């Protein structure tokens, strides 16, 4: 028998070692060794799992050797999850290249994600830079939206574009901020369902991966919350230093002072042990995910600011107190700090109780604290509804005048539009003997069949704005305008009119929240932020209309969503929502106390000059108002009369108002 040389087993072992596949590298381990992060506290340095210890088990579950094909994460802001998603995608590019899709909510978000996060990460990480083809003008290279490398590509996808979502086959995918995706893309259906269909080719092999992550929005409407509830509902648990029990941190057990120093600390729900903030870091680092619904359809995780190493419990306390009394801020706190959906009260306030609130000031007069004045107009075929509203710096509002302007609306210069021109030019008496025009006139150019007429009427009027309601909970009060350069005859005009989208859904929620606020006795100054005042001419019809919708549930593409539903005529409700949008356009929630003081001096003193610190729309209107004729001269200063023109003392009181609370 021929003997095998003694060296053969050694040689065979060497070849086996060379030809055998390398041990799988967990995404978190690869990122720790190679990934250079683009932003955050470690920008320009290596990815550090200790900064977000809850991220590693999530991304490792989606790795090539992981068992998770589909999973979701309900998260708050600034938790490191988005950077973790980039780490996971990068690990695939380096170790298991394939076709990857990263979908975000808008084309603007896509561009920002590439510019601020993805492109800098690739450029600064040698292990990625050596694989990803550079961006070139010739075919085959990378581009802003597609990063190509041997074995595959990473495509950036607009989650609200049906053509983007259905145009490619993918093996690994990320669906980011899905609560900002549309509920329905028309005939195409749910955008997330469209995205899921990109992975069908790999269902049989079981090696596809889809990671869905988002900050939630509204209870009953939140896509990520609904997905989370159907999953395993895993929360990060720490070990209680008092009794060694595993507990998940809950906001209701966080205790803190109202004023700084907040001295925020946690009282353990298991045994009452006090956990100081300086203990949080080590406790969180040694924590683990525990499923509260082990029978869930797929893994689902929750991550929030209470366990985040990027912020503090004191900052969380500060955000909580800052949100009190403001529905929008409370929603933002629940969403972005606690990672929880917010429940909006969608039932209409009782119009009979609101009717009892009216009075205290006459119709048509601007009260002393009404610094901004806006008009909302709803155009119908037979006339135009409108409401004029004044706003204080804390969001308090006063209805000044409302009516229906009866007349034909087919001609933008005649009929009801001629009456609207009178409202546009109207000068309302203020509390100091002067007269002021509206700062913004918002006119609906939506689906009522009079869009071209509204655009024509607004064109050339400096503080008149054509608007269109934009449904959806993620829409801002005022969005980016589009220019419409077609006139009534279908011809192009040189200077087109701007059409502004208005996020009506959230504004209605704010309006109802403000209506529920209880104030002091009429005539007193101490009212909560956002409190609504009504002049003595408001009748039952007015209050019925401004409370004519409620928040109901509808099914869209098999998913329950929260939508506004009508109970009767809602024209004056629309007018109020448009007036609120006008106030936001002017800077109601953005101006600083110093800027408000400038407006107060400007509108309370004998001179009316545009100021460089005022918002741009106010500069335009101030300039036009300065040259407009007034109906009378201002009354002389009378220190004993609250309705007289203001003195230095009034300005001081205004400063006190701005700084109270």
Return the pLDDT at 468: 94
pLDDT digits (tens, 9 = 90+) for 559-576: 777 888 899 999 999 999
Radius of gyration of the chain (CA): 30
Length of the chain: 661
Res 623: pLDDT: 46
The structural architecture, per CATH, of the domain 27-241+289-312 is: 3-Layer(aba) Sandwich (3.40)
| Cα–Cα distance for residue pair 73/58, rounded to 1 Å | 9
At residue 135, the pLDDT reads: 83
Residue 351's closest CA among 574, 567, 582, 575? 567
Report the alpha-carbon distance of residue 311 to residue 314 in Å, rounded. Answer: 9
Cβ contact 395:328 at 8 Å: no
Q: Per DSSP, which regions of 41-136 are E strands?
A: 70-75, 99-104
All structural domains of the chain with their residue ranges: 27-241+289-312, 351-588
* Fold observed for domain 351-588: Nucleotidyltransferase; domain 5 (3.30.420)
What is the rounded (10 degree) CA torsion for 82, 87, 93, 97? -80
Q: Is 351-588 in the same CATH topology as 27-241+289-312?
A: no
All residue ranges of the chain with pLDDT < 70 are 1-24, 137-139, 448, 485-496, 520-525, 557-558, 605-661
What does the pLDDT look like over 574-614, one tens digit per residue? 999 999 999 999 999 899 988 998 888 888 744 434 343 34
* Side-chain-side CA neighbours of residue 327 (13 Å): 20
Q: What angle, 0 to 180 degrees and rounded to 10, lies between the N-to-C axes of helices 313-323 and 327-336?
A: 160
Beta bridge partners of 603: none
What span, in angstroms and rounded, lies between the C-alpha atoms of 204 and 211?
Answer: 19
Q: How many CB atoms neighbour CB 191 within 10 A?
A: 28
Q: What is the percent of the chain with per-residue pLDDT over 90, rounded to a whole number?
A: 63
Residue 527 zone, left/alpha/beta (φ > 0; ψ -120 to 50; rest): beta
Q: Mind listing the pLDDT tens digit for each residue in 118-159?
A: 999 999 999 999 999 998 756 678 899 999 999 999 999 999
Tens-digit pLDDT profile for residues 81-110: 999 999 999 999 999 999 999 999 999 999
């Amino acid at each position: 028998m021929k003997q095998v040389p003694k060296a053969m087993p050694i040689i065979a072992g060497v070849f086996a070692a060379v030809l055998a596949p390398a041990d799988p590298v967990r995404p978190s381990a690869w990122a720790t060794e190679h990934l250079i992060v683009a932003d955050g506290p470690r920008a320009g340095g290596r990815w550090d799992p200790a900064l977000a210890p809850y991220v590693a088990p999530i991304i490792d579950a989606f790795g090539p050797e992981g068992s998770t094909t589909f999973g979701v994460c309900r998260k708050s802001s600034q938790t490191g999850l988005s950077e973790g998603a980039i780490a996971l995608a990068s690990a695939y590019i380096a170790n298991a290249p394939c076709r990857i899709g990263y979908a975000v909510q808008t084309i603007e978000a896509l561009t920002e994600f590439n510019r601020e996060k993805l492109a800098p990460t690739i450029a600064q990480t040698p292990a990625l830079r050596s694989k990803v083809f550079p961006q070139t003008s010739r075919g085959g290279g990378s581009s802003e939206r597609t990063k190509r490398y041997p074995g595959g590509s990473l495509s950036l996808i607009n989650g609200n574009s049906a053509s983007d979502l259905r145009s490619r086959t993918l093996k690994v995918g990320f669906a980011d901020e899905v609560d900002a995706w549309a509920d329905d893309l028309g005939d195409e259906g749910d955008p997330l369902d469209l995205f899921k269909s990109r992975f069908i080719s790999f269902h049989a092999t079981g090696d596809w991966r889809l990671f869905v992550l988002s900050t939630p929005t509204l209870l009953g409407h939140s896509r990520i919350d609904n997905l989370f509830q159907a999953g395993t509902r895993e929360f990060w648990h720490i070990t209680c230093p008092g009794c060694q029990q595993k507990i998940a941190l809950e906001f209701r057990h966080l205790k803190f002072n109202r004023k700084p120093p907040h001295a925020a600390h946690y009282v353990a729900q298991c045994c009452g042990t006090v956990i100081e903030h300086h203990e949080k870091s080590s406790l969180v680092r040694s924590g683990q995910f525990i499923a509260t619904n082990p029978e869930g359809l797929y893994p689902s995780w929750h991550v929030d600011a209470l366990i985040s190493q990027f912020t503090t419990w004191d900052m969380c306390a500060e955000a909580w107190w800052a949100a009190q009394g403001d529905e929008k801020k409370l929603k933002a706190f629940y969403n972005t700090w606690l990672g929880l959906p917010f429940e909006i009260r969608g039932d209409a306030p009782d119009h009979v109780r609101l009717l009892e609130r009216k009075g205290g000031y006459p119709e048509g007069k601007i009260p002393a604290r009404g610094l901004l004045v806006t008009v909302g107009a709803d155009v119908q075929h037979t006339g135009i509804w409108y409401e004029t509203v004044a706003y204080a710096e804390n969001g308090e509002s006063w209805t000044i005048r409302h009516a229906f302007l009866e007349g034909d609306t087919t001609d933008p210069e005649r009929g009801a539009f001629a009456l609207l021109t009178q409202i546009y030019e109207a000068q309302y008496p203020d509390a100091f003997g002067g007269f002021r025009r509206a700062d913004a006139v918002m006119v609906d150019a939506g689906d009522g069949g009079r869009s071209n007429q509204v655009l024509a009427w607004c064109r050339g009027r400096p503080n008149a704005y054509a608007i269109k309601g934009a449904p959806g909970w993620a829409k801002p009060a005022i969005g980016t305008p589009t220019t419409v350069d077609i006139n009534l005859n279908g011809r192009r005009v040189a200077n087109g009119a701007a059409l502004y989208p208005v996020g009506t859904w959230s504004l209605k929620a704010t309006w109802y929240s403000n209506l529920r606020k209880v104030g002091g006795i009429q005539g007193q100054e101490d009212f909560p932020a956002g409190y609504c005042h009504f002049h003595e001419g408001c009748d039952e019809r007015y209050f019925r209309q401004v409370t004519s919708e409620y928040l109901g549930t509808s099914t869209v593409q098999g998913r329950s969503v929260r939508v506004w539903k009508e109970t009767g005529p809602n024209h004056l409700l629309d007018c109020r929502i448009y007036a609120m949008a006008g106030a936001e356009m002017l800077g109601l929630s953005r101006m600083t106390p110093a800027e408000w003081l400038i407006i107060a001096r400007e509108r309370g003193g004998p001179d009316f000059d545009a100021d460089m610190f005022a918002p741009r729309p106010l500069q335009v209107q101030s300039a036009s108002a300065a040259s407009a004729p007034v109906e009378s001269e201002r009354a002389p200063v009378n220190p004993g009369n609250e309705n007289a023109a203001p003195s230095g003392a009034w300005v001081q009181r205004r400063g006190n108002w701005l700084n109270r609370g």
